[in-house]
Structure 1
Amino acid sequence: MRILFASAHPYLPQLSGGTQANTHEMAERLIARGHEVAVLAGLTSCGWIGLRGRVLMKVGHGRSAVDTALGYRVYRAWFAWDGAADCVARFRPDVAVVQSGAILRVADALRTSGTPILIYNHNVDFDDHGSDICSFRDEIFIANSTYTAAAYEQGFGISSAVIVPLFDRARYVVEPRRREVLFVNPHPHKGVDIALRLATDCPHIPFRFVRGWPLSEGDAARLNQGVAACPNVRLFPKTDRMAQHYAEARVLLAPSRWKETWGRVATEAQFSGIPVLASNIGGLPEAVGPGGLLVEPDAPASAWRDALEQLWEDTELHDRLAAAALDHSRRAEIDPDRQIRALESMAERAIADRRRSP
């Protein structure tokens, strides 16, 4: 099959997040199984990719610019829905998997072009649909967690198959030295205030912060000030080679303040038996499972401190949760071959449904 993943959000390397990581790992797996894969994504003006895209679209008078640096074609457009017809004409997909970022507006553009679609929801931001969901009720919906599926069932009466995020386990497995608390993506949505308060309250515990999403000027200044005030915190640049950081982790900290629909770093850490201290919010409990502790995001600072100190100092508890984390990471639900077969089956069904439709 010729499979197109589509989103209005920018794509790697312009934007990296859970959806982008999942798409890339799915693309690589599908290509290895003999499929042709491409991505349609939004484009920002930043950096070399933005400049290149601007020039190519101006010279070629097209609605998208294509690059192949990731090992497959990525069509980038200022607005993905405007670039959809151009992408379809050039790539000729058999099916499109439409994802976060004005998801239904992009889906509508692809459906109008005659492409069968799957709607793969990675968030529960209903205001970001970009179109009326009622006209999509006959399409096949996928959710990245039971939490996401339940939200769409409750909100719209839409049933979704669940395909949780896909991981190449080998990219993350290490023998951890268990020397630090690891916190990835120090952004306000991800609970950077909780992380900094923990570092302040637990000066005897070393913390490793790894940058993720871009920060506003004000948020960046507050992060730098907070880190400077905590001699037990080290701040590292963003990287797609996270194994080096998991190798130092005794605990993975995920104190998110927003409704995560999964929690990719939790699974990545658990591949190496690293227990997780996370917020009890959204899909994080599903990702963490028995391999960690959960605290309400708005709980008093003392609740977070007590939970962290338990995980740090109680060897018996830590070892038990580490074993549970490793076991949780081996469940069938996150077996990549099983996940890819499920996606292939749904893609074939979408194609068949379109052929049968008048």
Structure 2
Amino acid sequence: MNVLALLPSFRPSDYLGPVGGGEISNRRLLESLAGRGHGVTVYAFNAGGSNWMGANGLRVIDGGLGSPDLGGRVMGALLARARLHKKLPALTPDVILTTAGTVATGLRASRQNGVPVAVLVRAIRDIMPVAGSAAKTLARRLVYGNAPWTRAPYLIANSRFLRDYCRKNGFNGPGWVVYPPFDDEPLETPWPSSVSKVGMIGSAPNKGVETFISLACRLPQIEFKVIGDRSVRAGERRIEGNVTRVGWTNAPLDEIDSCDALLMPTRYDEAFGRAAVEAIRRRKYVLASSIEGLPEAVGDSRLLLDPYDLDAWQDSLTRLVRDPGAFRAAMDRAFKAAMELGVEAQTARLEQALSEMAFPPSVDSKE
């Protein structure tokens, strides 16, 4: 099976700038898919500035958005997209993947080649209107095209919650769930015998950072760490009382490993909860909000809390510090669920979805 992915960005693993979790998931899945013998080509509007080869022979074509000036980026991307459509017949795709932002390009390629197209949705923000000036909006439309993401005939979401959310917001076609893949080595060590340092990923209000900082004020005997704080330069850290703020990192596992527990007091916009699974696989205790996609990520309801009940968070964290053993049964169950999210298992789910799109056994909707 030949797969063509049309993505806004797809940078190599050694890229030094910030890379989001959705892009990392796409790279791991597509490289793993190539490893199963499929032909995989990625046309990325920003591929880090050059064409390159990924793991297992995955081919990446740069779309030109690496130019240092805006005008050069737009013109380069327009010319590259024109060349792309000339090259499409030679790529002979059986199925085309897009993001919500590149659906227009994907639909045109789909019509040109007579093959199905599916939109990859990795986060709620992917399908929300993009804010910006009129000039930036025009530039995006010139580069990516202009078509609503709901026009894609197929959808692949990274959680059941997100798939259902997309259906509530205008998508009516068949949809599959492919969870974010994890290829880090899970630890077989015991759960920490004591909890004195807790962390969280991200510093945005929707991530619940206000809850996290409030807990730090209430529990001064505990060390708190905000990992990936945008107010701190990448690679640097700032200490404020019992709170350490760490700048952006593309390798958060090192920081997670320095903690005993991870909190995810998310208030909204969490389609799955990748950080929770990463922490669980590294044998860290996790407490998370009981909303959106987090219950799917955590795997045990005893670890879930009301994101707006600060007292409940304080009570649960205090109990965790006093008696970590009381949480180990729940964490064992969460660890078992997290082990099912390995890259091979999720690649198999993606492979099955693509196969059913390219070579449909029937016209029935896929659940």
TM-score > 0.5, shorter chain as reference: yes
- Same amino acid, percent of matched pairs: 24
- Is residue 157–residue 176 contact of structure 2 (8 Å, CA) maintained in 1? yes
2:306 pairs with one of 284, 292, 296: 296
Distance 2:357 2:155 in 1: 10
- Is residue 84–residue 109 contact of structure 1 (8 Å, CA) maintained in 2? no
Query: Cα RMSD between the aligned structures?
Result: 3.4
- Is residue 98–residue 107 contact of structure 1 (8 Å, CA) maintained in 2? yes
Aligned equivalent of 1:167? 182
Residue 105 of structure 1: how far off its partner (Å): 2.8
One-letter code of the match for 2:253?
Answer: A
- Is residue 3–residue 95 contact of structure 2 (8 Å, CA) maintained in 1? yes
TM-score (norm 1): 0.75
2:243 pairs with one of 233, 252, 258: 233
Distance 1:292 1:240 in 2: 30
Aligned counterparts, 1:49-60, within 5 A: 49=48, 53=49
Instruction: Confirm whether residue 350 of structure 1 aligns to residue 357 of structure 2.
Output: yes
Residue 164 of structure 1: how far off its partner (Å): 1.3
Aligned equivalent of 1:58? none
Q: Which runs of 5+ in 2 are unaligned?
A: 66-73, 131-145, 361-367
- Is residue 295–residue 303 contact of structure 1 (8 Å, CA) maintained in 2? yes
State the SS of the aligned residue for 1:41: strand
Residue correspondences, number = 320
Aligned equivalent of 2:3? 3
Aligned equivalent of 1:356? none
Q: Which runs of 4+ in 1 moved over 6 A?
A: none
Change (3 A) 1:140 1:158: closer
TM-score (norm 2): 0.74
Distance 1:255 1:195 in 2: 7
Post-superposition CA distance 1:257-286 (Å, at most 9, x none): 332110101111111332321222211121
Residue 146 of structure 1: how far off its partner (Å): 0.8
Aligned equivalent of 2:289? 279
Aligned equivalent of 2:60? 74
Post-superposition CA distance 1:186-242 (Å, at most 9, x none): 233322222222222211111232216xx3xxx559xx99x643x222233433334
Moved more, 66-75 or 242-251: 66-75
State the SS of the aligned residue for 1:141: strand
Change (3 A) 1:174 1:42: farther
Moved more, 250-259 or 7-16: 7-16
Post-superposition CA distance 1:143-176 (Å, at most 9, x none): 2111012112333344412111111142x53746
Aligned equivalent of 1:17? 20
Residue 291 of structure 1: how far off its partner (Å): 6.9
One-letter code of the match for 1:34?
Answer: G
Post-superposition CA distance 1:273-331 (Å, at most 9, x none): 323212222111211120762233333x3232222222222223232232222122234
Instruction: Confirm whether residue 318 of structure 1 aligns to residue 327 of structure 2.
Output: yes
1:30 pairs with one of 29, 33, 53: 33
Change (3 A) 1:103 1:151: farther
Residue 10 of structure 1: how far off its partner (Å): 6.2
Distance 2:150 2:225 in 1: 45
Change (3 A) 1:35 1:251: same
